[in-house]
Amino acid sequence: MEAEAEIKNYKKMASISKPIHEQYVFYYSGLVKKYIGEYMQAIDCFEKSISKTAIQKEYKQGGQELLSFMELKVLRELGDCYQEVKRTQDAQKIYSKLQEYLESHSYISLELEQFYYGVLYKIAEQEYQNYNYGTAYDFIQKTYVGMKKHYLVRSMKEVLELKMALEEKMNFLTIESKKDYKDKIMALKLLKCTNEKEMLAYMEEENVRIQ
């Protein structure tokens, strides 16, 4: 696999004895394992990755630990893998920790904004799976409003799908709003098409006709 080859090359180039480089290697090794569905191995990699810096370091500000963006990403991936293997309480603990951390630290990075709303989406998804529809809707609504405000398109399709599903479960999805959701979701799917051939294939599959 190309990704595994790149990781091996990085090991040769970097000072792998340094914790920050070890963290990087374990993180991307975990992503590879996650991608092919080997979630237990991915968990092992992510746990080793986060142990390289976050647990040992003593950087403090205002009594709170400062986390790098890499550490935040490792924790998020670890939470996702916990969820995949049904360790839902462990996943919930991580998502809640990330939410609390991000809401207690000021940031202006668009990448961190996207990351924050991704965490809120995961909390909403977990609450939905636990049949806590009201709580799930509060989180998905906050996610939707924030992403719309900052023009964040990535993952908006999944946000709209969950928002629509929740409104249907809570019996306030109208025929008009359902059509509006489906139109927006279709538009977002079309945006992901990389070329005209792919777009036409998708339109044919979904029976989309341009009037």
Residue 191 has pLDDT above 80, yes or no: no
Q: What is the rounded CA–CA span in Å between residue 138 and residue 91?
A: 19
- Judge whether 190 and 196 are in contact, CB under 8 Å: no
- Percent of the chain clearing pLDDT 70 (strictly above): 76
**Most confidently modeled of 154-158, 191-195, 204-208?**
154-158
- Give me 56's structure tokens: 């040992």
- Judge whether 74 and 23 are in contact, CB under 8 Å: yes
The pLDDT of residue 100: 92
Q: What is the rounded CA–CA span in Å between residue 36 and residue 2?
A: 13
**Arithmetic mean of pLDDT over the chain:** 84
Helix ranges (DSSP H) in 61-174: 69-84, 88-104, 110-129, 133-149, 156-169
The pLDDT of residue 62: 45
The pLDDT of residue 60: 42
What is the mean pLDDT of the segment spanning 123-151? 96
The pLDDT of residue 106: 72
Q: What is the rounded CA–CA span in Å between residue 198 and residue 182?
A: 20
pLDDT in tens, 49-89: 999 886 544 434 444 567 889 999 999 999 999 999 999 99
C-beta atoms surrounding 185 within 10 Å: 17
Give ∠ CA 126-130-132 in degrees, rounded to 5: 95
- 186 pLDDT band, cuts 50/70/90, is confident
Q: What is the rounded CA–CA span in Å between residue 7 and residue 110?
A: 27
- 120 pLDDT band, cuts 50/70/90, is very high
Tell which wins on pLDDT, 15 or 122.
Answer: 122
How buried is 31 (Cβ within 10 angstroms: 0-12 exposed, 13-18 middle, 19+ buried)? middle
- Judge whether 46 and 84 are in contact, CB under 8 Å: no
What is the mean pLDDT of the segment spanning 100-115? 85
